[in-house]
Amino acid sequence: MDKKGVDILKDRKTSKSTAFTAEERSHRGLRGLLPYTISTQEIQKLRVIENIRKKESNIEKYIFLSALQDRNERLFYRTVIDYLPELLPIIYTPTVGEVCLQFSHIYRIDKGFYITPEDKGDIDLLLDNWPEEDVRVIVVTDGSRILGLGDLGCNGMGIPIGKLSLYIAGAGIRPEYCMPIMLDMGTNNEELLEELMYLGYPHKRLEGKEYDEIIDEFVLAVQKKYPKALIQFEDFVTPNAYKILEKYQEKVLCFNDDIQGTAAVAFAGVLTSLKITGKVFKDLKVMFLGAGSAATGIADLLVKAYIHEGLTEEEALQRLWFADINGLLVQSRTDLMSHNIPYAHEHEAMSFIDALKELKPDVLIGASGAYGTFTQEVIEIMSEINERPVIFALSNPTSKAECTAEEAYTWSKGKAVFASGSPFDPVEYEDKRFVPGQGNNVYIFPGVGLAAIAVEAKYLPDSVFLVAAGELARQINHSDLDNGTLYPKLTSLRNISFEIAVSVSNHLFDIGLATIEPPKNMRMHIKNMMYDPTY
């Protein structure tokens, strides 16, 4: 039986608030429960954005939007879609970093699902408590490496919640298909363990065999309960991120956004930069500052792209160089993790600055999580080496960016081809206006996720992310390039996600990883799946 009266107003999925028509108000027991005037969703949306703009801080804006999502889901997503460039920094980076830091203090309505070590052996039963039967996209974190902020434990739940909002707004995944999960394994953050209001499992972080067993149980429980679900692993500390991905990538439908999503969006930016620099991709030499999962994930995908262009693996590896806090990654170093070893070349040890001068990279990519590491000297060296130096400062949130857009353009005297992980305002330099592109994973993961569930993929090989990156690079237009922008406008995100989903879906059929019958019209098949929050 349809809900009526107060029940329909309190249900975030069904409520339209003041947009209920006179007939609906009469038929559904709403007379007297709402003001006289019947608003359109358009008017409601204007009221929402007016109230958001009155808020003095981004965290207050986030709380306001979160409350709207809890009471009127369709209005929330309609507003986010129509004001995405303005609201993306609120519902995700950089504000989500602050949200995670304050999560236990601003906690209000339950939005996610939590699993702790005390649930071991019962995870499959636990999943029965989730209200939705047909989950298709799960974003899961263990809170061990939230953005560039480190171990935030249970407070990291802000990340899965934010990412799934972007799946819905950016690619039209239906809200009921989405499930944010926190694998709360404890935390090694002493401040959190001593904090009175901390909501997480108040113990040191689980490690080793016990940790692995809970991951295994979780993945198996998801396969049993939600066999069509895509699992997106998010913000796991680097060794665990790689271990989990390597174990499950070709066994279940999953991917790691920090490794593969970041790689795809960065690769797309590199491809687009060629339209400005005039260089050839297979000839590029790339240097990374930072050697964690994001940086090596980008390099891993670039290796596959180089090989696709006709290089051998050895030739591909020789085009990719890494530096970290201890200098250039070389074979003589004894402090490297397994994912670094392929990129540790036979070369003398030297500082990052000396390596820049000697190796003369075409592209410099920062994924260090260390603010200000692209100094004026670094930018000037890159500008001496290259007529148009390509510089990506990808660390999130903004407080962790290797340099700002203004610094990159000013120190390079307007020569830099710049992109960042967090948003920066346009920059005026010597009568030219530069619009820095944001290499945000939101350009990639929603479309990949839409494709995965559209064709019910078996799993997602790395080639999926090459296809997604290539499609993203094709979406840029000449006016964006003229302003130095390497990524298309966020206002086109749903269309971008749709085009990526079509290309990836066709690719999954081509390589035999789609499990549905081939649709007569792939574009129409995917278009019909996409959620429209309009009422």
Strand ranges in 340-482 using DSSP code E only, listed in sequence order: 363-366, 390-393, 417-420, 427-429, 432-434, 437-438
Whole-number CA gyration radius for the chain: 23
CA distance linking residue 6 with residue 279, whole number of Å: 63
Q: Two tokens at 322?
A: 């890494």
- Residue 118 CB-density burial (10 A; 0-12 exposed, 13-18 middle, 19+ buried): exposed
- Look up residue 287 and give its two tokens: 């240097």
Active-site residue (options: 16, 45, 61, 163): 163
Vertex 172, ends 301 and 103: CA angle to 5°? 80
Q: How far apart are CA 443 and CA 379, in angstroms?
A: 27
Angle of the 158-171 helix axis to the 73-82 helix axis, nearest 10: 70
Per annotation, catalytic residue among 16, 62, 77, 92? 92
Treating both helix axes as pointing N-terminal to C-terminal, what angle do 84-91 and 58-71 enclose, rounded to 10 degrees? 100
For residue 399, give the amino acid letter. Answer: S
Report the largest interatomic distance among the alpha carbons of the chain, rounded to a whole angstrom: 80
CB atoms within 10 A of CB 384: 13
Rounded distance between C-alpha atoms, residue 223 and residue 202, angstroms = 29
Q: How many CB atoms lie within 10 A of CB 385?
A: 16
Q: What are the angstrom distances between the C-alpha of 34 and each of 6, 29, 68?
A: 10, 11, 17
| Exposure class string for 481-517: b at 16+ Cβ within 10 A, else e | beebbbbbbbeebbebbbbbbbbbbbbbbeeebbeee
As given in the structure block, the two tokens for residue 24 are: 């609906």
H/E stretch holding 516: none
Task: Look at residues 242, 156, 167, 220 and name the one whose alpha carbon lies nearest to residue 192.
Answer: 156
- DSSP assignment of 145-211: SBTTTB--GGGGGHHHHHHHHHHHHHH---GGGEEEEEE------HHHHT-TT--S--SPPP-HHHH
Q: Which residue is it, tokens 């990412």?
A: 163
Residue 163 annotated among the catalytic residues of the structure: yes
**Neighbouring C-beta atoms of residue 332, cutoff 10 Å:** 9
In three-state secondary structure terms, 482 is helix
Q: Answer yes or no: 61 catalytic.
A: no
Report, as residue numbers or ranges, the catalytic residues: 92, 163
